Structure 1
Amino acid sequence: MSPADPAPAPAAPSPARSGRGVFVVFEGGDGAGKSTQVRRLVETLRAGGHDVVRTREPGGTPLGETLRGLVLDPAHAPVDARTEALLFAAARAAHVEQLIRPALAAGRTVVSDRFADSSAAYQGAGRGLGVDRVAALNDWATAGLVPDLTVLLDVPAGTGRARRELRDGRDGDRLETEPDAFHDANRQAFLALAARDPGRYLVLDAVRPPEELAAEVAEAVHARLAGHPRPTAEVGA
């Protein structure tokens, strides 16, 4: 998973900008191709003149990146399910308050590799804590922030594993190396979450060629952006 852009210093909304930015999240299992699609979308948006913040979870802030190491490093295993869920929620709370909300308030487009639905799937379903219980924890951690668009890249657990092994060999972080049954439970939870809120989700068969996926993602994001006019400088600013 590629790193996010360096975290900018939090900034108050500028009086020279109007309108809230658009929040786009990529979700899916390990090996679904999220990092590739995040990169392609960010490049496309920046080429079109959009001010884009690229970020990831856990991470996005110095605290989040530190917690990322703690929660994903196999050296820290075993980590019980509740502790794991709380570490992800803590990293997410910092991410929202220090990076995502300020960027959206300034009219910027935020593109994140994972957000709260990952915890609902991985800790709620995969770890057995309960999807709704973990979702409620993260709703509190984010103060109710919901993406404008969630792109779910759907692949079978075996496909994700094969891709990860091709990329990293048999190495991987503490969650990537879980058995296929864990990843299949996550996949089914993602699909169930998408079925609950179809207006927010774009569900794509991520076995398809990356360029086809990127074109569909770009079309969906541009549709969302059309409903959020790009901030413009005031006359004389």
Structure 2
Amino acid sequence: MTTTRWLRRPQPRPAAALRLLCLPHAGGSAGLYRPWAALLPPDVELLAACPPGRADRLHEPLPDDLPTLVAGLAAAVAPLLDRPWAVFGHSMGATVGHELILHLMRRGHRPPVHLFASAREAPQFHHGGTVHLLDDDALCAELTRLGGTNADLLAIPELRALALPAVRGDYRLIETYTNLPRAQLPCPVAAFIGTDDHELTPEEAAGWADWTDAGFELQSFPGGHFYLSDQPAAVISAVLDRLRTPADR
């Protein structure tokens, strides 16, 4: 595995025609996407983001705000934009991905060919929250409710002590984030949602159509907020279908 501080490449593919940058949810890590590498075709290389505060970056300080997180990630991504690229962001990762694209474009970098906004409301429906202020027990209960974290692991005090700072820090970033993006995306956007995800409505997801000049699609998958963990092959198939050129279809 080729590793940098910010990006993990489970199966490096130097000759890949396209790079797919995947961004995790609040408290998530590159591990969410590691199974995807084996399911992607040889001409697509997976880049999975690993923000500070988790994995081998456990003891690095968490960013003060979301723009700081985006700036650090952008510095790592910029040297890899020598070929077409796309962004898949899950939950908080969709907001990070949107801001990342605009940050890079303001600095003259090529835009991605697609943004996949997974399980996240469009920016105009963004709302803050107080999850980051909950005590540890209540925070663990919220994570269990969402279904993305093994409740048995959260019951182990040592593991909980390692995991919760990043979770709380990420929730603070996204719940106190107030900037509304000021530009349209020049790439298509696809919003993916779980049919049983009670964290957002189809209307909130469909609102991503307002942020692109290049086309929008909304697709639903069976499951809840973490629908993608239950059916990675189906999700990847939907991603690849939108990344193929008309001649490839």
Highest relative contact order (Cα 8 Å, sep 6+), 1 or 2?
1
The two structures have a TM-score, normalised by structure 2, of 0.48
The two structures have a TM-score, normalised by structure 1, of 0.50
- Of Structure 1 and Structure 2, the greater strand share is in 2
